[in-house]
DNA sequence: ATGGCCTAGTTGCTAGGA
């Protein structure tokens, strides 16, 4: 089975591109982030015509996450327990996490809050969000140590200095602060393995390139999209790839898919 | 090659992204 994660940066603008990629890559389950639409606006028909079922949560033009699958979708959750919210007029739970069981694997599509700047309330929200997700993940493993869990998504954290083209460009910014990195690595402490690092250990293998200033041709990117797997699922992983071909051409998302292969 | 921001809504500017 082949599973993947991709921040699509508007599913309405790129539904055809996403389905073409699903078919050409032979992907069975895809976690999408930043669909940027409400549920009723999601282009279901485009995916269904290709044989994929869709579970989506989107409440506005912002955020939005989905799981699409051709091996079934069961037990959909549109948030994790006690998922922190954000808002000027009181916290509102955003469409940033969706869980679904596909082909026996519990897949979570995750869009971690950006943080905006280290002194912005969004930054505290980001840390709280990651901590509460990690508590849930620990609980899922505690309840079933043999659970096959995949935490897939745009983590909005640059774990190592080598995961950015020039770390000095991020001084004073989010993504590289120690609390964010600690929150990211806490999932490893909880028993999960970030399998893209295992199979794609080389530096300069980014998953995101800004649209501006020829960032992609110059390979001035960030590595911020990751796949954490539980021990039982890690045992099944045969390979991981980052499909930078998907960044090419007019109309590309600024992120590319991270693909995880599992033995049957 | 891969090419000098993009998307959607409150549209002709603004917010958000990283």
Question: How many CB atoms neighbour CB A114 within 10 A?
Answer: 15
Instruction: Give the range of the structural domain holding residue A98, as residue numbers without chain letter.
Output: 2-262
- pLDDT for the residue A66: 97
**A87 exposed, middle or buried (CB, 10 Å; 0-12, 13-18, 19+)?**
exposed
Q: Which nt has its C1' nearest the CA of A248?
A: B2
Q: Single out the residue of A39, A63, A160 nearest to residue A112, CA to CA.
A: A63
Residues 187-216 of A with CB within 7 A of strand B: 208, 210-214, 216
CA within 13 Å, CB half, A22: 25
pLDDT digits (tens, 9 = 90+) for A63-100: 999 999 999 999 999 999 999 999 877 889 999 999 99
Give one DSSP letter per residue of A161-228, joined into a string. Answer: GGGBS-GGGGTTSSSSSHHHHHHHHHHHHTT-EEHHHHH---TT--SEE-SSTTTTTTT-EE--EEEE
Is A154 annotated in some ligand binding site? yes
In this prediction, the residues of chain A whose per-residue pLDDT falls under 50 are: none
- The reply to whether A90 has its C-beta less than 7 Å from any atom of strand B is no
CA of A134 to C1' of B17 (A): 24
- pLDDT for the residue A264: 85
Residues 220-259 of A with CB within 7 A of strand B: 222, 224, 247-252, 254-255
- pLDDT for the residue A89: 75
Q: Rounding to the nearest 10 degrees, give the CA dihedral for residues A202, A207, A208, A214.
A: 60
- pLDDT for the residue A87: 86
| CATH number of residue A205's parent domain | 3.60.10.10
Q: Report the distance separating Cα A124 and Cα A74, nearest Å.
A: 33
Is A44 annotated in some ligand binding site? no
The contacts of residue A55 (CB under 8 Å, 6+ apart) are A66, A67, A68, A69, A73, A76, A98, A100
pLDDT digits (tens, 9 = 90+) for A124-156: 999 999 999 999 999 999 999 999 999 999 999
In this complex, the residue with its CA at the shortest distance from the C1' of nucleotide B8 is A61
The contacts of residue A13 (CB under 8 Å, 6+ apart) are A251
In this complex, the residue with its CA at the shortest distance from the C1' of nucleotide B1 is A217
Let me know how long chain A is.
Answer: 264
Q: How far is CA A39 from CA A57, A71, A95, A150, in A?
A: 6, 21, 10, 23
Q: Report the distance separating Cα A203 and Cα A213, nearest Å.
A: 21
Number of domains in chain A: 1
CA of A181 to C1' of B5 (A): 28
């Amino acid at each position: 089975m082949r599973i993947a994660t991709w921040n699509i940066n508007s599913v309405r603008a790129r539904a055809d591109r996403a389905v073409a990629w699903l078919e050409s890559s032979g992907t069975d389950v895809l976690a999408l982030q930043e669909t940027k639409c409400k549920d009723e606006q999601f282009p279901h028909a485009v995916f269904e015509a290709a044989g994929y079922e869709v579970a989506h949560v989107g409440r506005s033009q912002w955020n939005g996450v989905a799981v699409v699958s051709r091996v079934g979708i069961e037990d959909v959750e549109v948030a994790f327990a006690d998922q922190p919210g954000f808002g000027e007029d009181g916290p509102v739970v955003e469409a940033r996490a969706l869980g679904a069981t596909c082909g026996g694997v519990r897949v979570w599509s995750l869009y971690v809050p950006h943080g905006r700047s280290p002194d912005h309330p969004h930054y505290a929200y980001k840390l709280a969000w990651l901590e509460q997700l990690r508590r849930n993940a620990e609980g899922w493993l505690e309840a079933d140590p043999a659970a096959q869990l995949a935490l897939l998504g745009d983590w909005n954290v640059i774990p190592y200095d080598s995961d950015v083209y020039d770390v000095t460009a991020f001084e004073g910014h989010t993504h590289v602060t120690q609390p964010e990195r600690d929150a990211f690595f806490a999932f490893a402490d909880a028993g999960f393995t970030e399998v893209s690092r295992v199979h794609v250990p080389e530096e300069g293998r980014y998953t995101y390139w800004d649209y501006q200033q020829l960032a992609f041709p110059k390979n001035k990117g960030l590595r911020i999209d990751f796949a954490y797997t539980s021990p039982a699922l890690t045992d099944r992983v045969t390979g991981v790839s980052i499909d930078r071909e998907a960044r090419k051409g007019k109309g590309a998302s600024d992120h590319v898919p991270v693909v995880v292969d599992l033995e049957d």
